[in-house]
Amino acid sequence: MKPRMRDQAGPGQPLQNAVPAQPARRENLWAWCVMAAAVFIISAIRIRHLGIPLERDEGEYAYMGQLMLEGVPPYSIAYNMKMPGIYAAYALIMGLFGQTPAGIHLGLLLVNIASIMVIFLLARKLFDPFTAAIAGTTYGLLSMSSSVYGLHAHATHFIVLPAMGGLLTLLKAKDSVRRSWLLLGGVLFGLALLMKQHAIFFVLFACLCLLSHRRHAGSEPYGQHALRQIVFMSGVALPVALTFALLYLAGVFGSFWFWCVTYARHYVTLLPIRQAAFYFCSAVGIPGLGDGGGSVFSGTPLLWGLALLGLVTVLWDPECRSRRPFVLGLAVFSFLTVCPGFYFRPHYFVTLLPAAALLAGIAMGTAVRRLQRMKRAIPARLLASSVYLLAAGWSLFEQKDTLFAANVNEVIGLEYGTADAFSASPEIGRYIRAHSTPGDRIAIIGSEPQIYFYAHRRSATGYIYMYPLFENHPFAAQMQQEMIREIEAVRPRFLVFVANPTSLGVAPDPRLDMFRWYDNYSRLFYNLVGIVDIQDTRTNYAWGEQARVYRPTSMNVVFVYERRAP
């Protein structure tokens, strides 16, 4: 009896050669074993870094999530332009694992593992188990790279999971007459959009995928196709509409709309389009065209090289023809999620990583198929696996200082530089918490919302970032005056001034109303009780009477003031 053979790939079927059933089962088992090993290694590395201090974006999400756990809706007493989904995600994680950096990063670990497995299943649905194993492993390695701040729980990580889950669900919907898959896929894309506005490009890509399905399935009546689109878009709208309703009932919809739509629209137009190429070249590290900063490819150049090889393969290999529109479309729309505002910050590239991982998997999977057709006894999968292990091992070796550093404070210093107050923030928060009551308020002249989280004290002002106050938009002067009025009305117990342009958004200038006011206000009503002197190799802390005689020796200092007794 002849062994049962798999057919060549058709719509909705994996792309692979005819393979006997028994070897196919072995290949599936091999792929799952590879994924188990990859998840184990990646989890072990991330677990070593669970206690890494929060940086300012994480601090914002953690503080907002902390307020939500206390029953305070977002955008009421703390403002920013991030979508409410990421705040709710943080609140859920902290409710499950505790209000600590370790608890937050444990939640990130679980989200990352789930994303790895979804990308593995997506690639397996499109191609074959070997390609899928490479794609899932590559995403895991790229997404924890320090070059994209992968160890930190940025909103982009929380976009990837529902967006890729939505794509996998849409592929399932192509093979099923049940419209519930379309509805579920839409809901997942809606959740991705609630994490960050950038996910709108994934929603557009999903709509194009549905249109493409109508073109290929030419027998489908237009009425049925329109109904499929309506069901999908209803799914997208469902979580968004529910969130809008909750914000309206909480009385904060107007504030939400201003920050997440009105102000955000101005924010993404601050940089002129002629500077887009400069900032992109700076992000990817093209010599002579950027500012000479870091590169999102640093630490993982061989993995990105495989992704580039996969892009060439998709364009060249006829066996990829049926999957070419999907793969190239995913790459293009993933890149668009990085582009809003042309800031090209490292963590923005996380949403590009699933497409890069899929391309790397295609490169290796195609190599295996080509080698298997040679009339030689070449162990194709073993050879390709060895090449990939070399690329993956080199990436880990290149990042040994961050991924295997003994001290988590050293890791965040290597990532962001020693000038930022991230490593010092837990100690500042502990001091304020120990010398205040839960009802006391604090105000930070700077952009360090993680201090509010560590202190577990509410801000005296809704402006937890200073950046919007000094940007070139119509609301800047009004925001400065509003922040001043809020602080004066609340009279916070502690006032914290972060003397660092990275935190302030501008260098302190006495000609600016905000800094003139701070100088007078702190002198009239507050005593200096703490100085945090952030140096290149260590941070000095001076509290109480010692702070009044301490003279900082660095240019990056945090001053802590306590309000005088009446």
Decide if pLDDT at 176 tops 90: no
Retrieve residue 158's tokens: 């929380």
- Biggest CA-to-CA distance, the chain: 96
Decide if pLDDT at 452 tops 80: yes
> Which residue's structure tokens are 């005088």?
564
Task: Give the pLDDT mean for 435-459.
Answer: 97
Q: What's the pLDDT at 165?
A: 97
Q: How confident is the model at residue 510 (pLDDT cuts 50, 70, 90)?
A: low
> Which residue's structure tokens are 């729309």?
333
Residue type, 46: R
Identify the helix (H) or strand (E) that includes residue 561: strand 557-563
Q: How far is CA 395 from CA 74, 134, 145, 417, 537, in A?
A: 39, 14, 9, 21, 27
CA dist., res. 399 & res. 49, Å (int): 14
* 342 and 489 together in one domain: no
User: SS3 for 183-196, per residue?
Assistant: HHHHHHHHHHHHHC
Q: What's the pLDDT at 196?
A: 97
CA dist., res. 79 & res. 28, Å (int): 48
* 243 and 352 together in one domain: yes
Q: Which of 227-241, 328-342, 502-516 has the lowest mean pLDDT?
A: 502-516
* 117 and 169 together in one domain: yes
Decide if pLDDT at 14 tops 60: no
* 301 and 363 together in one domain: yes
In a domain, 378, yes or no: yes
Q: How confident is the model at residue 292 (pLDDT cuts 50, 70, 90)?
A: low
Retrieve residue 283's tokens: 């992000």
Task: Give the pLDDT mean for 472-497.
Answer: 95
Burial of 329 (0-12, 13-18, 19+ CB in 10 A): middle
Q: For residue 58, give every residue at least 6 positions away whose Cβ sits within 8 Å of its Cβ, in sequence order, or none.
A: 101, 104, 152, 153, 154, 450
Handedness of CA 333, 167, 228, 196 (dihedral sign): negative
How many domains, the chain?
2
- Which of 360, 381, 403 corresponds to the end of one domain? 403
In a domain, 336, yes or no: yes
In a domain, 232, yes or no: yes
pLDDT tens track for 226-245: 888 899 999 999 999 999 99
CA dist., res. 449 & res. 74, Å (int): 14
* 426 and 518 together in one domain: yes
Q: How far is CA 451 from CA 177, 203, 392, 433, 454, in A?
A: 52, 35, 37, 10, 5
Helix then strand count (H, E) for the chain reads 24, 6
Residue 386: give the domain boundaries: 50-261+271-281+290-403
In a domain, 334, yes or no: yes
Q: What's the pLDDT at 380?
A: 82
Q: What's the pLDDT at 517?
A: 94
Identify the helix (H) or strand (E) that includes residue 473: none
Q: Which of 109-118, 178-187, 197-206, 253-262 has the lowest mean pLDDT?
A: 178-187
Retrieve residue 536's tokens: 């290149």
| Cβ proximity of 105 and 153 under 8 Å | yes
Q: How confident is the model at residue 1 (pLDDT cuts 50, 70, 90)?
A: very low
Retrieve residue 503's tokens: 């935190």
In a domain, 554, yes or no: yes
* 84 and 172 together in one domain: yes
In a domain, 266, yes or no: no
* 328 and 429 together in one domain: no
Q: How confident is the model at residue 173 (pLDDT cuts 50, 70, 90)?
A: confident
Identify the helix (H) or strand (E) that includes residue 260: none
* 118 and 160 together in one domain: yes
Arithmetic mean of pLDDT over the chain: 91
* 245 and 104 together in one domain: yes
Share of the chain above pLDDT 90, in %: 74
Q: How confident is the model at residue 17 (pLDDT cuts 50, 70, 90)?
A: very low
- Which of 334, 368, 403 corresponds to the end of one domain? 403
Retrieve residue 197's tokens: 């506005």
pLDDT tens track for 66-78: 999 999 999 999 9
User: SS3 for 312-363, per residue?
Assistant: HHHHHCHHHHHHHHHHHHHHHHHHHHHCHHHCCCHHHHHHHHHHHHHHHHHH
Q: How far is CA 68 from CA 61, 72, 85, 458, 505, in A?
A: 10, 5, 12, 12, 27
In a domain, 23, yes or no: no
Closest CA to 87 of 65, 102, 55, 106: 65
* 184 and 312 together in one domain: yes
Task: Give the pLDDT mean for 173-180.
Answer: 77
| Cβ proximity of 195 and 85 under 8 Å | yes
In a domain, 3, yes or no: no
CA dist., res. 264 & res. 268, Å (int): 6
* 395 and 351 together in one domain: yes
Q: How far is CA 230 from CA 168, 190, 458, in A?
A: 19, 14, 43
CA dist., res. 331 & res. 232, Å (int): 22
Q: Which of 15-24, 50-59, 346-355 has the lowest mean pLDDT?
A: 15-24
Decide if pLDDT at 291 tops 70: no
> Which residues partner with 20 through β-bridges?
5
Q: What's the pLDDT at 219?
A: 58
Q: How confident is the model at residue 289 (pLDDT cuts 50, 70, 90)?
A: low
In angstroms, how far is the first alpha carbon of the chain from the final one?
A: 96
Residue type, 337: T
Q: What's the pLDDT at 4?
A: 41
* 399 and 443 together in one domain: no
Q: What's the pLDDT at 293?
A: 60
Burial of 525 (0-12, 13-18, 19+ CB in 10 A): middle
Q: How far is CA 409 from CA 8, 306, 402, in A?
A: 53, 32, 10
- Which of 343, 373, 403 corresponds to the end of one domain? 403
Q: What's the pLDDT at 20?
A: 56
Q: Which of 238-242, 282-286, 301-305 has the lowest mean pLDDT?
A: 282-286
